[in-house]
C-alpha cells in the first residue's frame, strides 16, 4: 500500500523510502496517516491519541506535538520541509505554516486561509482567499513577511531562493521581485506555468492555450521567447550539482593529458591509411 510519493508501507511501524532506499521506523504510538517524501526528506503526520508531525532527513530528525489539527499539507524545498496546518479553534479555524530542517523548526501564524503556496530554502510565497500574495523571507531564526500585494484570482506564483514570481491574470503581466522589491515586468498572455531550472539560473513561463513560452535569467530579464504549438508542460534538463572536490578537479584538469589518447588514435589511423594505400598499390602492380 502506498503512503505517499515514493513511500511504501511495510506495516504500521515501518515505512520504506523507495527513492533513497532507506527504512523509516516509527515508534509504537506514531502511526502516520499522511506521509510524503522529496529531496531526501520525509514528513509524516500521526493522528493517533497525540497528534504529531515528524521530519526525517540524512542530517537529522524532528518531532513536534500538535492539537486540534483538521488538515495538513506537506511541501519541500531542497533542504527544508514545510507543513501547511489548519486547526480548529473557538469560533472557526487557524492557519500556520511550519518549516522543518535538521536543526530548526519555524512557525508562522497566517491570517487567512491559503489557496496556493510555493517554497524555497530562503523563503516562501502564498496566495490567500483575500486575494493577497504574501512574500516571506528567512531572517536568522524565522520567516518574516517582506511584501504583500493584491492580485486577481487568476494568479500563478513561483519562487527560487530570494526571487519571487507572480503572474497577474488581470493584467497578463509577470512580475519578478528580488527580496520583495519589484525588479521587472513582462507581458505574457494567459500564462499557466512558471518553472525554474534546477540551478536557479533560468526561469520559464508558458501558456498552454497560446503555446507562448518565455525564458528569463535569475535577474528577471527575458532573453528569448518562442511559440510551441500544443505545449502542455515544460521540464528543464536536470542539473547535477558539483561538490568542492569535483570543482577543484575540473579547475586543475590538464587538457594536454586529456588529448593524449586522441593524438595516439589519430596517429594510428594515419598509419592504417598509409598501409591501406600501400596494399592497394601492390594489388594494382600485380
pLDDT digits (tens, 9 = 90+) for 12-43: 554 555 455 454 555 544 556 788 999 989 99
Is residue 178 pLDDT above 70, yes or no?
yes
With bands split at pLDDT 50, 70 and 90, how would you rate the model's confidence at 199?
A: confident
Q: Classify residue 280 by its DSSP letter.
A: H
Q: Is 15 inside a domain boundary?
A: yes
pLDDT on residue 238: 81
DSSP string, 241-272: ---HHHHHHHHT--HHHHHHHHHHHHHHHHHH
Q: At a CB cut-off of 8 Å and minimum separation 6, what does 206 contact?
A: 191, 192, 193, 195, 212, 213, 214, 228, 231, 233, 234
Cα 160 to Cα 158: distance, rounded to the nearest angstrom? 7
CA–CA dist 101, 143 (Å, integer) = 13
Question: Pairing relation of β-strands 114-120 and 22-25?
Answer: unpaired
> Strands 132-139, 123-128: parallel, antiparallel or unpaired by DSSP?
antiparallel
Angle at 148 between CA 86 and CA 91, to 5 degrees: 30
In a domain, 46, yes or no: yes
The rounded mean pLDDT for the chain is 85
Provide the pLDDT for residue 264: 63
Does the structure show a pLDDT above 90 at 112?
Answer: yes
Query: Is residue 69, in this structure, part of any structural domain at all?
Result: yes
- The answer as to whether 146 is a domain residue is no
Average pLDDT on 200-211 reads 94
Residue 42 lies in a domain: yes
Residue 118 lies in a domain: no
**How large a percentage of the chain has pLDDT more than 90?**
59
- Name 74's bridge partners: 83
Tell whether 99 is covered by a domain. Answer: yes
In a domain? residue 220: no
Give the structural domain span for 24. 1-110
Span of 105-109, 129-133, 135-139, 232-236 with lowest mean pLDDT: 232-236
What is the structure's pLDDT at 286? 58
| Number of structural domains in the chain | 1
pLDDT in tens, 254-276: 666 666 666 666 666 667 677 77
- By the 10 Å C-beta count (0-12 exposed, 13-18 middle, 19+ buried), 193 is classed as middle
Has residue 125 got a pLDDT over 70? yes
Distances (CA, A) of 175 to 49, 51, 134, 205, 221: 46, 40, 14, 11, 11
Name the DSSP letter for residue 164: E
pLDDT at 98 over 60: yes
* Helices and strands, counts by H and E, the chain: 2, 24
Q: 167 or 283: which carries more pLDDT confidence?
A: 167
- pLDDT at residue 1, as a whole number: 38
**For the chain, percent of residues with pLDDT exceeding 70:** 79
* 34 grid coordinates: 499522511
Amino acid at each position: 500500500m502506498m503512503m505517499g510519493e515514493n513511500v511504501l508501507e511495510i506495516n504500521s511501524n515501518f515505512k520504506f523510502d523507495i527513492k533513497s532506499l532507506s527504512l523509516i521506523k516509527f515508534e509504537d504510538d506514531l502511526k502516520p496517516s499522511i506521509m510524503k517524501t522529496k529531496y531526501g526528506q520525509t514528513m509524516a503526520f500521526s493522528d493517533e491519541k497525540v497528534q504529531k508531525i515528524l521530519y526525517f532527513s540524512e542530517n537529522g530528525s524532528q518531532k513536534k506535538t500538535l492539537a486540534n489539527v483538521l488538515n495538513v499539507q506537506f511541501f519541500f524545498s531542497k533542504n527544508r520541509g514545510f507543513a501547511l496546518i489548519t486547526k480548529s479553534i473557538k469560533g472557526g479555524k487557524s492557519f500556520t505554516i511550519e518549516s522543518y530542517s535538521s536543526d530548526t523548526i519555524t512557525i508562522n501564524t497566517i491570517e487567512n486561509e491559503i489557496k496556493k503556496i510555493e517554497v524555497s530554502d530562503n523563503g516562501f510565497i502564498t496566495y490567500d482567499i483575500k486575494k493577497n500574495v504574501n512574500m516571506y523571507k528567512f531572517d536568522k531564526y524565522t520567516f518574516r513577511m517582506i511584501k504583500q500585494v493584491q492580485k486577481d484570482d487568476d494568479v500563478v506564483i513561483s519562487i527560487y531562493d530570494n526571487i519571487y514570481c507572480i503572474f497577474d491574470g488581470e493584467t497578463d503581466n509577470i512580475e519578478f521581485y528580488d527580496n520583495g522589491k519589484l525588479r521587472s515586468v513582462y507581458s505574457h498572455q494567459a500564462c499557466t506555468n512558471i518553472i525554474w531550472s534546477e540551478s536557479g539560473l533560468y526561469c520559464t513561463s508558458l501558456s498552454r492555450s497560446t503555446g507562448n513560452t518565455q525564458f528569463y535569467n535569475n535577474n528577471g530579464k527575458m532573453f528569448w521567447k518562442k511559440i510551441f504549438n500544443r505545449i502542455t508542460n515544460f521540464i528543464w534538463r536536470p542539473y547535477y550539482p558539483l561538490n568542492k572536490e569535483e570543482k577543484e578537479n575540473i579547475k586543475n584538469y590538464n587538457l594536454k593529458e586529456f588529448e593524449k589518447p586522441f593524438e595516439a588514435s589519430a596517429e594510428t589511423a594515419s598509419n592504417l591509411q598509409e598501409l591501406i594505400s600501400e596494399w592497394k598499390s601492390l594489388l594494382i602492380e600485380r
